[in-house]
A and B are shown apart, each in its own frame.
Chain A
Amino acid sequence: MSPTHILLQQIVNGLSLGAIYALLALGFTLVYGILELINFAHFSVFVVGAMAGLLVLQAFGLQGQSVILHGAPLVLVLLAALVAAMLACGLLGVLIERYTLRPLRAVTGPMAMITTIGVSYILVNLVLLLTRAQSLNYPDPLPAMTATFGGVTVSGKAVMIWIVAAILMIALDRFVRRTRLGQAMRAVAQDQEAARMMGVDVDRVILVTFFVASALAGAAGMIFGLYYNFADYNIGYTAGLMAFTAAVLGGIGNIPGAMLGGVIIGLIDTLGSQYIAAKWADVIVFSILIGTLVFRPAGLLGALAPNRS
Chain B
Amino acid sequence: MIALPRPSRRQKQGLLALTFVLLMAFPLVGGSQADIDIIANACAYAALALGLNIVVGFAGLLDLGYAAFFAIGAYSYGVLNSFQLQPHWSPFWQPFASLGLVAKLGIGAAATVHFTVSFWLMLPVSAAIAALFGVAFGAPTLRLKGDYLAIVTLGFGEIVPIVARNWPALTNGAAGLNGIGPPKLFGWSFGVDATPYYYVGIALVAFLLLVAWRLKASRIGRAWMAIREDAVAAQAMGIHTSRLKLIAFATGAAFAGVTGAFYIAKLQTATPDMFDLPVSIMVLVMIVLGGLGSVWGAIFGAVALEILQAWLLPALNGTTQALGQAVGSGFLRTLDLTSASELIFGIILVVMMLYRRDGLVPAARSGVTLAFEQQDAPISHGGSNMPILGLSHHLTPLAVAAPLAVAVPAVPAILSVRDLSVGFGGIRALKSLSLDVPEGGIVAVIGPNGSGKSTLFNAITGLVTPQSGRVDFAGRALIGRRPDQILALGVARTFQNIRLFPHLSVIENVLIGQHAHLRAGPFGILCNTPRTRAEERRAREFAAEILAIFGNRLVPRLEQNVSDLSYANRRRVEIARALAARPRLLLLDEPTAGMNPAESHELAGQIAAFRTLGLTILIIEHKLDVVTLLSDRVIVLDQGERLAEGTAAAVRADPAVIAAYIGRRPADV
Contact = CB atoms under 8 A, between A and B. Distances in A.
A287 B162 CA distance: 12
Interface residues of A, number: 45
Given A126-B343, A241-B154, A115 B147 contact: no
Contact of A104 (B228, B342, B347, B353): B353
B152 to A, nearest CB: 5
Interface string A283-297: 100110110011001
B147, B228, B340 — which one has the most chain A CB atoms within 10 A of its CB?
A: B147
Contacts of A289: 151-152, 155
- A-B CB proximity, top 3 nearest: A118-B349, A121-B346, A122-B346
Nearest to A237: B277
B651 interface: no
Given A121-B281, A294-B141, 4 more contacts: A113-B62, A118-B349, A122-B347, A129-B335
B210 to A, nearest CB: 27
A126 B56 CA distance: 28
Interface in A261-309: 277, 279-280, 282-283, 286-287, 289-290, 293-294, 297, 309
B368 interface: no
Contacts of B166: 277, 279-280
B140 interface: yes
Given A104-B354, A290-B152, A129 B346 contact: no
A126 B345 CA distance: 12
A114 B353 contact: yes
Contacts of A287: 155, 159
Contacts of B348: 118
A293 B144 contact: yes
B350 interface: yes
B60 A110 contact: yes
B541 interface: no
B357 interface: yes
A166 B350 CA distance: 35
Contacts of A309: 232
Interface in B283-301: 284, 288
B155 A241 contact: yes
7 contacts: A37-B147, A109-B228, A113-B150, A114-B353, A118-B350, A119-B346, A122-B347
Contacts of A9: none
A282 B162 contact: yes
A290 B154 CA distance: 10
A110 B151 CA distance: 12
B339 interface: yes
Interface string B120-153: 0000000000000000000011001111101110
A184 to B, nearest CB: 23
Contacts of B333: none
Contacts of B104: none
Contacts of A110: 56, 60, 62, 146-147, 150
Given A110-B146, A114-B62, A286 B349 contact: no
Contacts of B217: none
A114 B350 CA distance: 8
B147 A36 contact: yes
A48 to B, nearest CB: 14
A109 B60 contact: yes
B353 A111 contact: yes
B156 interface: yes
A38 interface: yes
A246 B399 CA distance: 59
Interface in A95-111: 100, 103-104, 107, 109-111
A125 B349 contact: no
B163 interface: yes
A121 B144 contact: no
A100, A110, A124 — which one has the most chain B CB atoms within 10 A of its CB?
A: A110
A77 interface: no
B339 A128 contact: yes
B165 interface: yes
A118 B228 CA distance: 22
Contacts of B163: 283
A286 B161 CA distance: 13
A74 interface: no
Nearest to B147: A38
B472 interface: no
Nearest to A128: B339
B346 A120 contact: yes
A117 interface: yes
Contacts of A133: 339
Contact of B343 (A109, A113, A122): A122
B96 to A, nearest CB: 33
A119 B62 CA distance: 17
B162 A125 contact: no
Given A110-B146, A279-B162, A286 B155 contact: yes
A166 B237 CA distance: 52
B62 A121 contact: no
Contacts of B343: 121-122, 125-126, 128-129
Contacts of B64: 117
B56 A118 contact: no
B158 interface: yes
B353 A118 contact: yes
B153 to A, nearest CB: 9
Contacts of B335: 129
Given A283-B163, A297-B144, A129 B340 contact: yes
Nearest to A109: B60
B349 A117 contact: yes
Contacts of B60: 109-110
Interface string B91-133: 0000000000000000000000000000000000000000000
A111 B357 contact: yes
B136 to A, nearest CB: 12
Given A121-B281, A244-B151, A286 B346 contact: no
Contacts of B151: 38, 244, 248, 289, 293
A289 B163 CA distance: 17
A20 B652 CA distance: 66
A114 B284 contact: yes
Given A109-B228, A241-B155, A115 B353 contact: yes
A117 B144 contact: no
B148 A293 contact: yes
